[in-house]
Structures are given as structure tokens and as C-alpha cells.
Amino acid sequence: MMDNVRIDGVTPSRRNNEKRLNKNRWRGYSRKPDPDMFESKCKSCLQLDIIPKPKPDIFVNYRDSYHGDNYNLKDFFVAYSLEEDDTLSPKYFIYPPTFLAKDDYYFTRASCNVLLHFYDEKSGSQVLWNPTTGGYKILPKPFVEPHPRITSVPYSMGLWSDHRFEDYKVLNLVSSHLKVERGLSHKSYHIDLYSLKLNSWKRIPCPDFNCRDGYSAACVAGVFYCIASLKRTDVIFVFDFSTETISTLPLPLPPPDNLCDYYYYFLEYKGLLSALACWDYKDTRVPLKYELLIMSDGSWTKESVFHTRGGIQTPLWFSQDGKLLYFVSVTNELVMFDRAIGELKHLGIEWASAHMRIKPMMIPFFESFVQLN
């Protein structure tokens, strides 16, 4: 098995099968303007200054169920370069250290700059890996629960670089259950925060919160966000990595009515937190709607509204200038919406994973030689 070796191009199991891709394309899914997806800009949209930055490579995460003749659920990553026409060109693919597959670690979607985070549910062990150097670090266990009836499980995870102290910090938002009489249990939340520089954990209580959606959580500009309830009111739970403090933000939209429902995707947009509210109407004849809202100076501003009748599924990443929005489609392919011309482009990149736990992710990646030990 290859271990931390870069192989040029795309792994053979992921090469495009043009016949199958053509067969699975949905109506209007091509390089031509798509009549079923368009964007309406809002008058109140923010005018944001963009500081030019070098283009990152993009890591796309996969998990194969078969490698050779062995069933081992092996994570791997394909690195793509962003071309001048904003398409993605494969550069190489790379497998993490072999022991991560043998011990049933999986990629948690927590990443920062060059470091990727892995977790083993059975043992509770956590690992940071640097694909540039091949170095990895097995983190010490956070804490041993003092009470035998307490069960603690990480609910969501985050990773960020604290440049002031030349440190990387790993966040575990942990759900703890205390079993009491008659089979009932009491649930509470806390943060376990790891410092790479100190090689130690600290615990930060947050007992008043009931976190609701770990998958929608995001780290943007050194801050962790997720949806939670506080005193029966839905809010955005906010943790600042630099100050190690907890606060809240209001949700962008009021509660939905009985005719529809919506859920949020949090993404970075031009260096700010954005929320894509996906409206799911009970009437299937009504097109899906995504509202893009931007958080600036403590308040939400509606930027635009996207409409589509289907085909796209999950928003993944905004380009650094905010002009491009990448999605995974219902046929498990990466697609790109060019907001300037209203064009949906098929990128010819298949994402399909062999394991339902693995969710699609596009990871901006800069080479770095940060040492983990």
C-alpha cells in the first residue's frame, strides 16, 4: 500500500468515464447557460474590498472501500490546481499514513492551511497529518471522565492556526451524557481545546447550549460556528480561537412557516462568514432556492438569491474573489456556478465515495513545512 507518496495525475479508480457521466447528466447540465439555475442580486449587497492572494491548490477528499484485494476503507486525497479559466486540473493523489486505515481513523473535515485532522471513534484517538512533509502527530487523549456513567462523544471538530503564538489549535465540541435513574440521561456540551505548541488540552464549559447541527459547522477566519439553542432560542454558537471565548450570533432568517423548511450551509465568502439558506418547499413544483447572506459588523446582509429546479446538491466552496461557487451534484460530480455570467459548468470530476460517513469537501491547500513533533 502506498504511504504518503504523491502519484501524478488522478488515481485510476477516479478517472472520468465520459460515457457514464454523459448518461447521468441532468437536463441543462452543460457548459451552456443553464435556464434552471440563476441568481438575483440584492440591492443591499455589501461592497467588499478583496486583497489579492495566491491561488491555493484544492484537495478533494475520497474514501475507497477496496484497495487491492483488501477491504479497508482507505481515505485519500486528490490535489487539483485552479486554472486560469477557473476549472480544476489534477496534479497528484496521496494516501495518508497506513496506520490511519488499519486503526479505522477517518478524516473529520477539520483542516487548516496544510494540516488535516483524523479521528478514531473506537479508541477516541486523534491525529494531525501534514501531506507536504508526511509528518503526523498522535494527539494525547483529552480527558478521562471522572464518572463511570458519563459518556462523551465529539459532536463537531475544528482546526485553526493562531499566528500570534505560532500555534495550531484543535477544537472538539463534545456532547456528554450522564445516565441517571430509569434510563434517562442528562446531556450537556463543552469544548476540549488542544494546543500543538503546548501539547495539551484544556476544557471550556458551555452548559447553557444545546448544539443542533454539527455537520453545518464551519471555521472561518479563526472562528468556529455552528447552530445551537440557547434558552429555547435558535442561535449561532461562536467560538473565537484567538481569545478562546464563546459568544452568539442571531440566525440570518426568521423561523420557517408550515409551507417550507430550510437549512444552512456556512461557508467563507471573501474572508467573512456566509450562510447559504437552502429552502426546501413541500410543493415539489416550486424550484429550490438558496439565499446567500453575509455577516459583517454583527449583522446579516442578503447578498443574492439562487434558484434551481434540481441537479445540484451541496454547496462546497466559494472562490477567493467570491465570483465562483462550487457544488456537488446529485450525480456525485463537482460543478461550478459562474456568478458573473450565470453559467453552470461541468468539471468532469467524480466525487462518489464508498462510505456514507464521508461528506464532500473542497479544501484550500498551501504547501507548508510546519513540524508536528
- Residue 73 CA: distances (Å) to CA of 96, 104, 157: 12, 8, 21
State the pLDDT at residue 256. 67
Q: How many CB atoms lie within 10 A of CB 34?
A: 22
The grid coordinates listed for 65 are 472501500
pTM of the model: 0.84
- Read off the pLDDT of each residue in 357-364 and give the average, rounded to a whole number: 75
pLDDT at 278: 84
Percentage of residues in the chain with pLDDT exceeding 90?
Answer: 32
- What pLDDT is stored for residue 228 in this prediction? 92
Where residue 194 falls among pLDDT bands split at 50, 70, 90?
Answer: very high
Q: Compute CA 348 distance to the chain's CA centroid, rounded to the nearest angstrom.
A: 21
Q: Domains plus CATH for the chain? A: 29-44+53-365 (2.120.10.30)
Residue 136 confidence (pLDDT) above 90: yes
Query: What does the pLDDT average to over 328-336?
Result: 83
Higher pLDDT, 43 or 217: 217
- Please give the distance of CA 248 from its chain centroid, rounded to a whole number: 20
User: pLDDT for 252-291, tens place per residue?
Assistant: 988 766 556 678 899 999 999 999 988 766 555 555 788 9
pLDDT at res. 220: 94
Q: What is the percentage of the chain residues whose pLDDT exceeds 70?
A: 76
Q: How many CB atoms lie within 10 A of CB 295?
A: 21
pLDDT of 181 over the 80 cut:
no
pLDDT, residue 44, reads 61
pLDDT at 111: 93
pLDDT at 241 over 90: yes
- Candidate from 150-164, 215-229, 317-331, 339-353 with smallest mean pLDDT: 339-353
Residue 13 has pLDDT above 50, yes or no: no
